[in-house]
């Protein structure tokens, strides 16, 4: 079915009755025309792939890409009209794509159930994450390096404090996440900066028993440094690399460097 030109219905309602309503409606007509052409070319591409006709495949791909660029240009122009109608409005609509799908394609009786499942999963994840962060901070940092001798009640109070602290940090991240084009993408980008290193540490612990802690620490530092550097180069356009590859890069470097350090300095890291 035809997707909306703009996924935030509140923005679309805002432009109605303004001086740009007619221009926006004309863009909707163009958008529908481009969508039908793109759908036809996608069918042609599928047929070409099935027939293994390389020439037809390349032609169909080029046409689909050109129509996609035209569609993006129409969406960008639509956002400009929305912005002109109300300069204070937020035109970013990527986070409304999923909501639009839910509201338009899922049976009404299941929408409430889906929302309940989403909220339950979110609250469960948040609770476990805050508890894990507070516990790790209390045991591995506070108790080990700051207050080594204290009562259980003291550490309980400290864990409560760290829970609030991590909650505030999470709120700050949530408030700044609007700077990203897509919230899901933002979460995956931040995760990709650390997941690979963490996975590499676990894999070394499980499968490389002879590799000791100091070697793993060096590997983790080197791996994280390479991941961050690669991410910065990718964002600057120096290299072209999807951020999900950072997981594999970090994991491989942690394992490789840890194993190499252990081999080179078996006495010092034994």
Q: pLDDT tens digits for 43-92?
A: 999 999 999 888 999 999 999 999 999 999 999 999 999 999 888 888 88
| Residue the block writes with tokens 């805002």 | 14
pLDDT at 109: 80
Predicted confidence (pLDDT) at residue 270 exceeds the cutoff of 50: no
Quickly state the pLDDT bin for 267 (edges 50, 70, 90). low
Burial class of residue 35 (count of CB atoms within 10 Å of its CB; 0-12, 13-18, 19+): middle
Residue 148's SS3 state is coil
pLDDT at 119: 86
Greatest mean pLDDT among 141-145, 218-222, 241-245 lies in 218-222
pLDDT in tens, 119-177: 888 888 888 989 999 999 999 889 988 888 889 899 999 999 999 999 998 888 777 76
pLDDT in tens, 10-28: 888 888 888 889 999 999 9
pLDDT greater at residue 58 or residue 104: 58
Predicted confidence (pLDDT) at residue 268 exceeds the cutoff of 80: no
| Residue the block writes with tokens 């996609």 | 68
User: What angle, 0 to 180 degrees and rounded to 10, lies between the N-to-C axes of helices 213-235 and 245-264?
Assistant: 140
* Alpha carbons 203 and 249: distance in angstroms, whole number: 14
């Amino acid at each position: 079915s035809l997707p909306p030109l703009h996924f935030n219905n509140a923005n679309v309602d805002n432009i109605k009755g303004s001086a740009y309503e007619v221009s926006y409606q004309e863009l909707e007509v163009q958008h529908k025309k481009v969508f039908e052409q793109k759908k036809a070319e996608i069918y042609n591409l599928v047929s070409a792939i099935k027939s293994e006709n390389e020439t037809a495949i390349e032609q169909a791909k080029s046409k689909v890409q050109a129509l996609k660029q035209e569609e993006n240009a129409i969406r960008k122009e639509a956002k400009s009209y929305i912005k002109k109608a109300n300069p204070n409005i937020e035109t970013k609509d990527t986070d409304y794509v999923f909501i639009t799908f839910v509201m338009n394609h899922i049976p009404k009786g299941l929408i409430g159930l889906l929302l309940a499942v989403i909220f339950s999963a979110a609250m469960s994840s948040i609770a476990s994450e805050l508890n894990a962060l507070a516990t790790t901070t209390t045991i591995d940092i506070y108790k080990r390096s700051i207050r080594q001798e204290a009562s259980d009640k003291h550490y309980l109070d400290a864990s409560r404090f760290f829970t609030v602290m991590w909650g505030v940090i999470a709120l700050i991240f949530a408030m700044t996440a609007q700077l990203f084009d897509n919230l899901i993408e933002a979460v995956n980008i931040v995760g990709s900066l650390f997941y690979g290193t963490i996975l590499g540490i676990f894999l070394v612990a499980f499968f490389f028993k002879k590799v000791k802690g100091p070697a793993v620490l060096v590997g983790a530092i080197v791996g994280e440094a390479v991941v961050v550097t690669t991410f910065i180069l990718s964002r600057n356009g120096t290299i072209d690399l999807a951020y999900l590859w950072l997981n594999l890069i970090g994991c491989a470097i942690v394992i490789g460097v840890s194993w190499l350090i252990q081999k080179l300095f078996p006495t010092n890291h034994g």
